[in-house]
């Protein structure tokens, strides 16, 4: 089955890597997409799955704060993270994570290699190595990546997750290339 021209490998990517227009006001580093990351992903031949933007889906484009762009980034990110703590948004985040995990499980069921998940560090939702909390950038995952990680654990699955920053593009390219060249060890 699926013995055709496909690579049988996929990678899951934070929404804003391909759509900077979706991120919170004042934080876009590129007009449309992060070109350098797109080029690396394109050259890999892995299928690219753009995950939904939890902030856009739950809070809207202005994140519920029309003055967000005039607020320091980590302060606005902290506000966004706190809003995600409300039950309605918490359930929405869990549902989004469950949808991604269901896709991962389906691909794995058919022998596809999951190259990993690429998130955006410092993000209150998609940070992998760092997030914003208490008006500063701190170690840890954003609320969406944390929900995704926990859901994968509930199925006893491990998928490599890396975080990048658009304004540290050389390091970001290196991180993504390293992820793409690693051999899957998840079950």
Distance in angstroms (rounded) separating the CA atoms of residues 133 and 186: 30
Q: Is residue 17 part of a domain?
A: yes
The structural domain count of the chain equals 1
The per-residue pLDDT string of the chain (187 residues; one tens digit each, 9 = 90 and over) reads 888 889 999 999 999 999 999 998 888 888 899 999 999 999 999 999 999 999 999 999 999 888 888 999 999 999 999 998 877 888 999 999 999 999 999 999 999 999 999 999 999 999 999 999 999 999 999 999 999 999 999 999 999 999 999 999 999 999 999 999 986 554 4
Q: Is residue 110 part of a domain?
A: yes
Q: What share of the chain is helix, strand, coil (3-state, %, to 5)?
A: 45, 15, 40
Q: Is residue 120 part of a domain?
A: yes
Provide the residue range defining the domain that includes 35. 9-181
How distant is the alpha carbon of residue 144 from its chain centre?
Answer: 8
Q: Is residue 52 part of a domain?
A: yes
Q: Is residue 2 part of a domain?
A: no
Q: Is residue 3 part of a domain?
A: no
Q: Is residue 4 part of a domain?
A: no
pTM for the predicted model, two decimal places: 0.93
Q: Is residue 70 part of a domain?
A: yes
CB atoms within 10 A of CB 75: 14
């Amino acid at each position: 089955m699926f013995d055709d021209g496909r690579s049988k490998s996929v990678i899951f990517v934070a929404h804003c890597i391909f759509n900077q227009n979706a991120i919170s006001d004042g934080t876009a580093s590129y007009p449309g997409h992060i070109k350098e990351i797109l080029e690396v992903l394109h050259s890999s031949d892995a299928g690219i799955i753009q995950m939904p933007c939890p902030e856009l889906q739950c809070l809207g484009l202005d994140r519920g704060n029309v003055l967000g762009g005039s607020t320091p980034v980590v302060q606005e990110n902290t506000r966004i993270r706190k809003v995600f703590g409300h039950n309605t948004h918490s359930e929405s985040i869990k549902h989004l994570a469950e949808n991604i995990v269901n896709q991962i499980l389906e691909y794995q069921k058919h022998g596809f290699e999951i190259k990993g998940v690429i998130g955006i560090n410092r993000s209150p939702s998609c940070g992998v190595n760092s997030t914003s909390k208490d008006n500063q950038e701190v170690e840890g995952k954003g609320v969406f990546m944390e929900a995704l990680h926990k859901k994968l654990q509930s199925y006893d699955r491990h998928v490599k997750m890396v975080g990048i920053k658009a304004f540290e593009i050389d390091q970001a390219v290196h991180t993504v290339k390293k992820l793409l060249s690693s051999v899957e060890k998840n079950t």
